[in-house]
Amino acid sequence: MSLRHGGLSPLQRYVGRRLAVVLPTLLGMSFLVFSVASLTPGDPAEEYAQRVTQRPPTAAELAQARHELRLDRPFAVQYVDWVAHAVRGDLGKSFFTRHSVAAEVRHRIPFTLQLAVPAALLSLVIAMAVGTVSAFYRNRPLDQVVRVLSLAGASMPSFWLALLLVIGFSVRLRLFPVAGRQDGLASLVLPVAALSLPSAAVLSRFIRSTLLEVLGEDYVRSARAKGAREVAVLTRHALRNSLVPVVTAFGTSLGHLLAGTVVIESIFAWPGLGTLTLDAIHHRDYPMLQAFILFAGLIVIVINLVVDVSYAVIDPRIRPGRRAVPGAD
Amino acid sequence: MTAPVINLEATRLEAAAPGRRLLRGLAQDRTARIGLVLVVVFAGAALLAPVLATRDPDVIDLVHKFGAPSRRHLLGTDHLGRDEWARILYGARLSLGTAVVASLAIAAVGITVGVLAGYLGGWVDGVISRIVEVLLSFPGFLLALAVTGILGPGLRNLLMVMVFVSWAGYARLVRGLIVAERSKPYVESARATGVSDLRIVSRHLLPNIMSPVIVLTTLDMGAVLLGLAGLSFLGLGVQAPTSEWGAMLSEAKTYIGDAPQLMLYPGGSIFLMVLAFNLLGDGLRDTLDPRTALGSAKSRSRRRRPAPSCAKRTI
């Protein structure tokens, strides 16, 4: 089998195959958004021209606006044109600000990452620690307390948690700013906490139950039978063998974290992508919305790809080419 | 909303008397019992809102704004002098009502599509499975935001969005269950005696796969409620003057310094409601899927995808 594909390693072939699925998906998604956007009532060119001139536009001004927004051609041409520009990194002009969409998105991405990356790492660290401890002390008082707390955390609306944190730590204790981004770490603390805690709660429950499942396997019994200490059983056998599902769950939670930034950014008036997207939704700024969907799609695809490839690193039994790879067909 | 990866295949074996098993499980499981009580309390509050609320939730009374709790206003009044107790009760109607309606619609669409894919197989299955795979790989809330952005805000659009982003999980579960069930002797003998496909599906297959679907619906209900409240909080769902918990929270946000108590009631209600569905769903799953119990995992096949499900969320 590998002879036919000379040159390429199984992993390369595998990534190639994933990309072959991914690109049509992205294209299909952008087409869907594009067509639905053009079907919705309301003329973006008219709204745009009115914003520019501050009065109902004349026919000439309307035509000018259509031309400027690339809306004066048939739908199919518009779409192909958009794709052709998009692959070159040009995502068009905002219907609202008239600025380049790509430049605006590039400007906002770092702010969102400042929240998302620490939140992701924090949630993983908390979840690993809490989940493992909980599994180690299963059904003992500590585990019971942790389970109640993590279920509460998993049921907590992140936007409510954020507001509670603001009341407690900003309004009452005046430890952190209520909203807005400032230099230094103080303004990061509350948004990152609100973003990571619910995520950590969900993940820790998952880690606990995965560990408990693995602890029922034969090799764990063998390890115990040969006299391994419970800590060693847990860390060396159970934890290692539960890494694959845990990494998958972490990948999923990253996607949800990205969605969560939209809500959290709006609460903390954080100048990231989420705020940009909400503004785009309120202004019906379709090119901006398209860009966000494209960006989110790319991120999710990259996460999935990294997760899938990491299987092979974590578990030698799952190697592309040796047997079917999860998700690839 | 996204990938409700639940391992429920085992429950199939217990499907002989799903209704009775569900009830017995609920009676025995402490967490499920707490969840059920909470759900019943909130459902009762929603149904009896006109009786329990002594005030009109929408009457503005600026003289008595930010009022403290009193016999007249059980939970005090909000920034427009409206009765908070009445607003929470009527909010339960809207928040819980939309979550239930949305969940039923989601389940109906997902079951139908899943049955089509699983029963017909072939290219139908291929196409559906591919769409499901794509939808499930995206975080539901991101998808919901995108679609809301295009359709525009409002309750009707909100429901459509929720169905659009959530049906895939049901379709995948049902498809898998149907595929496993389809070649069983009882289905073959039904087919051999000339029973029509429609009847095989409705009378033989569906009843046998219902309990996992019920568990998924319960677990999913919390996520749906959270998603609906979240979109309303962002101003993309139910709009501000209406008493819906997410929208109320959004209004209260402005007065976070002066009247923090106004955030407590709607936020706490959302939290308790989601918690209730998670407790109930977890309890149901544990009763219906004996394999999640510690020590009985031996029979499990080794899986690479996450199998045991917990409370899930999308934002």
> Does A55 contact chain B (CB < 8 Å)?
no
Q: Which long-range contacts (CB under 8 A, 24 or more apart) does A131-136 make?
A: A131/A203, A131/A204, A131/A205, A131/A206, A131/A207, A131/A208, A131/A211, A132/A207, A132/A211, A132/A234, A132/A235, A132/A239, A134/A204, A134/A208, A135/A207, A135/A208, A135/A211, A135/A212, A135/A215, A135/A234, A135/A238, A136/A230, A136/A231, A136/A234
On chain B, the residues whose CB falls within 8 A of the CB of A318 are: 304
- For residues A111 and A264, give the distance between their C-alpha atoms in angstroms, rounded to a whole number: 12
> Does A224 contact chain B (CB < 8 Å)?
no
**pLDDT score at B275:** 92
Residue B118 vs residue A304, higher pLDDT: B118
**pLDDT score at B175:** 92
For residue range A91-109, list pLDDT tens digits in order.
Answer: 877 877 778 888 888 899 9
**pLDDT score at A318:** 65
Confidence label for A118 from pLDDT (cuts 50, 70 and 90): very high
Looking at CA atoms only, how far is residue B191 from chain A in angstroms? 32
For residue range A167-209, list pLDDT tens digits in order.
Answer: 888 887 877 777 777 777 778 888 999 999 999 999 998 899 8
Contact B278 A151 (CB under 8 A): yes
> Does B1 contact chain A (CB < 8 Å)?
no
**Using an 8 Å Cβ cutoff, are B196 and B4 in contact?**
no
Contact A300 B137 (CB under 8 A): yes
Looking at CA atoms only, how far is residue B116 from chain A in angstroms? 21
Mean pLDDT across A34-43? 69
Mean pLDDT across A305-321? 74
**pLDDT score at B10:** 44
**Using an 8 Å Cβ cutoff, are B279 and B293 in contact?**
no
Contact A213 B297 (CB under 8 A): yes
Identity of residue A161: L
List the 114-143 stretch of A: residues with Cβ below 8 A of B.
138
Q: Which of B129, B249, B294, B315 to mutate to test the interface with A (most CBs of A within 10 A)?
A: B315
**pLDDT score at B308:** 38
- For residues A178 and A163, give the distance between their C-alpha atoms in angstroms, rounded to a whole number: 9
Checking if the pLDDT of A112 tops 70, the result is yes
> Does B218 contact chain A (CB < 8 Å)?
no
Looking at CA atoms only, how far is residue A258 from chain B in angstroms? 8
**pLDDT score at A123:** 94
Looking at CA atoms only, how far is residue A309 from chain B in angstroms? 13
**pLDDT score at B12:** 46
ipTM of the complex: 0.81
- For residues A169 and A186, give the distance between their C-alpha atoms in angstroms, rounded to a whole number: 11
Q: Which of A40, A47, A160 to mutate to test the interface with B (most CBs of B within 10 A)?
A: A160
In chain B, the residue whose alpha carbon lies closest to the alpha carbon of A300 is: B138
Looking at CA atoms only, how far is residue B8 from chain A in angstroms? 15
**pLDDT score at A161:** 92
For residue range A123-164, list pLDDT tens digits in order.
Answer: 999 999 999 899 888 888 898 899 889 988 889 998 999 999
> Does B135 contact chain A (CB < 8 Å)?
no
- For residues A228 and A220, give the distance between their C-alpha atoms in angstroms, rounded to a whole number: 10
**pLDDT score at A41:** 62
**pLDDT score at B184:** 86
**pLDDT score at B89:** 86
Contact A258 B234 (CB under 8 A): no
Contact B256 A166 (CB under 8 A): yes
On chain A, the residues whose CB falls within 8 A of the CB of B150 are: 33, 36-37, 40, 286, 289
Identity of residue B262: L
Contact B256 A163 (CB under 8 A): yes
> Does A151 contact chain B (CB < 8 Å)?
yes
Confidence label for A217 from pLDDT (cuts 50, 70 and 90): confident
> Does A40 contact chain B (CB < 8 Å)?
yes
**pLDDT score at B17:** 54
> Does B274 contact chain A (CB < 8 Å)?
yes
B124: its two tokens: 């139908």
**pLDDT score at B312:** 54
Mean pLDDT across A218-233? 83
> Does B290 contact chain A (CB < 8 Å)?
no
Other Cβ atoms closer than 10 A to A254: 24
**pLDDT score at B273:** 93
Confidence label for A40 from pLDDT (cuts 50, 70 and 90): low
Tell me how many residue pairs between chain A and chain B have CB atoms under 8 A apart: 187
Q: Which of A252, A278, A292 to mutate to test the interface with B (most CBs of B within 10 A)?
A: A252
For residue range A229-251, list pLDDT tens digits in order.
Answer: 888 888 788 888 888 888 888 88
**Using an 8 Å Cβ cutoff, are A125 and A179 in contact?**
no
In chain B, the residue whose alpha carbon lies closest to the alpha carbon of A292 is: B146
Contact A255 B312 (CB under 8 A): no
Contact B311 A155 (CB under 8 A): yes
Looking at CA atoms only, how far is residue A27 from chain B in angstroms? 12
> Does B298 contact chain A (CB < 8 Å)?
yes
Spans of chain B below 50 pLDDT: 1-16, 290-311
Confidence label for A264 from pLDDT (cuts 50, 70 and 90): very high
State the Cα torsion B277-A265-A205-A157 to the nearest 10°: -20
- For residues A271 and A8, give the distance between their C-alpha atoms in angstroms, rounded to a whole number: 43
> Which residue ranges form the domains of chain B, and what is each CATH number?
42-288 (1.10.3720.10)
